[in-house]
Amino acid sequence: MLHERTRLAVTSVGVAFAVFLMIFQSSLLIGFLKAAAKIIDSTDSDLWIAPRGVVCFDFSASLDGRFRDIAEGIPGVETVNRISVNFVGYQMPDGQHRIVVMIGADPNVGSLFPLPYLPHSRGALEPEAILVDETNTQELEVSAIPSEVEVSGLRAHISGVVRGFSSFLGSPYIFASYEDAARYSRIGEKRVAYLTVRIAKGYDVGTVKSMLASELPESPVVLVEVPVAPAQPVTPVSPEVVVLVVSAEPVVAEDSEPEVVETAPLLPPLPVSPEVALGLAEASPVVVFPVSPLAPEVAEVEVVQVPE
């Protein structure tokens, strides 16, 4: 192919373009998977109780609220939190309507789960408050925080903006408390979309999952175990961050005395002739000649008189 440079150039460009398409499509797939699992990863849960047959978080069915009471009675279950997912109508300030996905949850569902908490509080939620993702502010005409809107014909206000929780299905996400989400979606608080289960310390997740499966009805629900995220590699510290602390005084034990070790000066080995190395001759003694002192004219001595 070196003799046909035109064909070589065309082939190289084609292979490079194919590799680019593979990398581009792989990055899109990884981005979609991360976006689809973002809400699930933000919960502090070990198990999910979901309706059987649901294949996507956005398109969920409803469960009976009594399943929460059953799950809370299982030994080893620490907390059970509710999550609501429904499509609702959203009226923008200019009067236009848009279909959005209303997501509501209990306060203890997860520390990273976006919920409208009251200022300086991680346990109390603000009533009639919703959160939107920063990528949807222009689409939902959010020009100021807070701003008054209508959801399913009921009054609400946008209290904050979150980052990293955009939807790739087209309908924007809005987040509220579970009670407000149940009210806006008009399904009531007795129906839930998902239940997240947190296992207490000292209990095996598989054992608790088996006990839940034996207590919950088999047909309407399915138990999904949340995989544990792999440990992240430690980020190397840059040289600007590393600070060396040097002590000026050596640390010596109080009752110990320093040990003085006399060592001979390190001198280079003398060259050995082949006859001596083979044992055919004896090594001659080394004669050391004394070093004569320098003459007064050569040695320059600076005399400093110290005052009495």
DSSP string across 127-161:
TTEEEEEGGGTTTTT--SSSEEEEETTEEEEEEEE
How sure is the predictor about 21, in pLDDT bands with cuts at 50, 70 and 90?
Answer: very high
Question: In DSSP terms, which residues pair with 100 in a beta bridge?
Answer: 88
pLDDT of residue 175: 92
Q: Which of 179, 213, 220 is nearest to 70 (CA)?
A: 213
Is the pLDDT score of 171 beyond 70?
yes
**Mean pLDDT score of the chain:** 74
Is the pLDDT score of 203 beyond 80?
yes
Q: Residue 77 gets which letter from DSSP?
A: E
| Buried/exposed code over 245-258 (b: 16+ C-beta within 10 A; e: otherwise) | eeeeeeeeeeeeee
Calculate what percentage of the chain has a pLDDT beyond 70: 69
Query: Any idea which of 4-18, 93-107, 281-295 has the lowest mean pLDDT?
Result: 281-295
Is the pLDDT score of 297 beyond 60?
no
**Who has greater pLDDT, 242 or 169?**
169
Q: Which of 114, 101, 116 is nearest to 38 (CA)?
A: 114
Integer Cα distance of 122 and 146 in angstroms: 19
| Buried/exposed code over 137-170 (b: 16+ C-beta within 10 A; e: otherwise) | beebebeeeebebbbeeeebebbbebeebebeee
Which segments of 59-137 does DSSP mark as H helices, in order? 66-72
pLDDT of residue 250: 41
Is the pLDDT score of 298 beyond 60?
no
Integer Cα distance of 121 and 225 in angstroms: 30
How much is the average pLDDT of 229-252?
A: 39
Is the pLDDT score of 251 beyond 50?
no
Q: How far is CA 76 from CA 69, 82, 98, 167, 275, in A?
A: 14, 18, 43, 34, 85
pLDDT of residue 281: 54
**Preceding peptide of 146 cis, ω within 30°:** yes
Is the pLDDT score of 5 beyond 50?
yes
pLDDT of residue 242: 33
Phi (first) and psi of residue 191, to 5 degrees: -115, 140
Query: Any idea which of 102-116, 155-169, 184-198, 225-239 has the lowest mean pLDDT?
Result: 225-239
**Who has greater pLDDT, 298 or 33?**
33
**Who has greater pLDDT, 60 or 293?**
60
How sure is the predictor about 233, in pLDDT bands with cuts at 50, 70 and 90?
Answer: very low
| Buried/exposed code over 198-217 (b: 16+ C-beta within 10 A; e: otherwise) | bbeeebeeeebbebbeeebe
Integer Cα distance of 39 and 101 in angstroms: 13
Q: Strands 221-225 and 47-51, how do they pair?
A: antiparallel
pLDDT of residue 221: 66
How sure is the predictor about 266, in pLDDT bands with cuts at 50, 70 and 90?
Answer: very low
Query: Any idea which of 72-76, 213-217, 232-236 has the lowest mean pLDDT?
Result: 232-236
**Who has greater pLDDT, 53 or 240?**
53
Q: Strands 63-64 and 191-192, how do they pair?
A: antiparallel
pLDDT of residue 245: 33
Q: Which of 170, 181, 152, 166 is nearest to 36 (CA)?
A: 166
**Whole-model pTM over 0.75:** no
Phi (first) and psi of residue 84, to 5 degrees: -115, 135
Tokens at residue 282, please?
Answer: 């004896």
| CA 222 from centre of chain | 28
How sure is the predictor about 238, in pLDDT bands with cuts at 50, 70 and 90?
Answer: very low
